[in-house]
Chain A
Amino acid sequence: MNPVRVAIAVARKDLRSEWRTRELVPALAQFIILALLIANFGFQIDSRNANTIVPGVLWLALVFAGLVAFGRTFAAEREQASLEAMLLTPASPVAIFAGKALAALALLVACEAVMLPALALFFGVPIGVDTVMAVLLATVGMAALGCLFSAMVARVRARELLLPLLTLPLWIPFIVAGGQAVQSAMGVSSDYEEAIGLLIDFDILFVVLTSLAARFVLDE
């Protein structure tokens, strides 16, 4: 079986089931709006300090929305025990994993499509192509890592607890470089090109590593 077609088929299955139920994306969008509301009261954001605070709000909201999303990535498989069925097919586990990761990435991008306009609307910060590119590049690596750990903790007792504890430290490189990139895009620091370069390096490194590890995680 062609692994690319398997991955696309798995991703389409996930996205179709999300489209039919429409559970996760609306819930995550609401979660993000609530996070922005809390940030507004916590920081007293106004037009003078918005550019320095909003990058932090962006990453906090994105990281925690991502954790909620990845907590659900393997929920359907767990509840219906369908992962075993998928693994019984001749499709390679890495292709199945890639499909799950692609679908999770697409859902996260859908949340970002709500978050970035909301940031621009509520806090009046400029959201340009440079910000969008930094966020998207970080999302790729975060989705690969998040999906891997989501698959691993799916069978563990305290998975809601373990997923953030394992995933957050590994996301930090993306937040360091992505934070720098978004800060530069909003004009509070420089080094935009270096930060984007680092994000691309990290994406390549962690996508390769997760696809190497996926075999051990799914292959039971």
Chain B
Amino acid sequence: MNRYERAAAAAVLLMLVAGAAIFFYAPTDYLQGPVQRIFYLHVSSAIAAYGCFAVVLVGGVIYLKNESPAADRFARAGALVGVVFTTVTLVMGMLWAKPIWGTYWTWDARLTSTLVLWMIYAGYLLVRRFADPGRSAARLAAVVGIFGFVDVPVVHFSVTWWRTQHPGPIVVNDALPPEMLATFFFTLACTLVLAAVMIAIRYRIETLLDAKQQAFEPAPVIAAEPAP
């Protein structure tokens, strides 16, 4: 096993331990019953997704500043992993909402802004697919990543202005018993480790792809594209 495989195995093991804590250590919620156990992974993966998109933001800003291919590779890796965690958040949230709210989907502020978040970074991944790899694609993607990060709080704020029914932040205002709190923070830590390992592996893949495509070699000097 090389070090990437070892890291992946460790992350999976940690997630299994977190799963055991969620199902066997944390007490069952009095009102919501076992459905409440979705909360631990749902909130953790949402936080992990925000972390990944912060990587995209920082990578994009650094890339625009000094054209560092490494920053761009981190941004690419962060976007992909972030979309995965956003998908997990959305799907788990819908599974929770069906028994508790009686519907899979409602146009609540947090749901809407999370969906927009998913759309923006899915668009980011499409940019990477359609644009020819290289400087202009990296630049375009960096701008998309930065605007996306700005847009999400704006969408959230503008929708919250009129309607919201998502549960508020229960972790910070001390509404959870200590076992639940411990399970939550343990799951959060494991999820963040998993996200970091996924980004590291994806970074390695992007490095190999760039080397194969020679995407960041100095561009040959050519005349402007002739009219078709």
Contact = CB atoms under 8 A, between A and B. Distances in A.
Indicate, yes or no, whether A interacts with B. Answer: yes
Interface of A: 79-81, 84, 145, 148, 152-153, 155-158, 161-162, 165-166, 168-170, 172-173, 176-177, 180, 191, 194, 198, 202, 205, 209, 213, 216-217, 220
Contacts of A81: 224-227
Given A79-B227, A148-B143, A198 B158 contact: yes
Contacts, number: 84
Given A156-B127, A213-B147, 5 more contacts: A81-B227, A168-B119, A169-B116, A216-B142, A220-B136
A165 B158 contact: no
23 contacts: A81-B225, A81-B227, A152-B140, A152-B143, A153-B140, A157-B132, A161-B126, A162-B123, A165-B119, A166-B123, A168-B119, A169-B116, A169-B119, A169-B148, A172-B116, A176-B155, A180-B162, A191-B162, A205-B154, A213-B147, A216-B142, A217-B139, A217-B140
Interface string B26-52: 000000000000000000000000000
Contacts of B24: none
Q: In the complex, which of the residues A169, A173, A205 has the most CB atoms of chain B within 10 Å of its own CB atom?
A: A169
Contacts of B168: none
Given A162-B123, A173-B158, A213-B146, A79 B228 contact: yes
B226 A165 contact: no
Interface SS, A side: helix
A194 B227 CA distance: 48
B131 A213 contact: no
Interface residues of B, number: 34
B127 A162 contact: yes
Contacts of B148: 169-170
Interface string B145-169: 0111011001100110110000000
A194 B161 CA distance: 9
Nearest to A156: B131
A84 B226 CA distance: 12
B144 interface: yes
B130 A157 contact: yes
A112 to B, nearest CB: 22
Contacts of B126: 161-162, 165
Contacts of A198: 158, 161
B80 interface: no
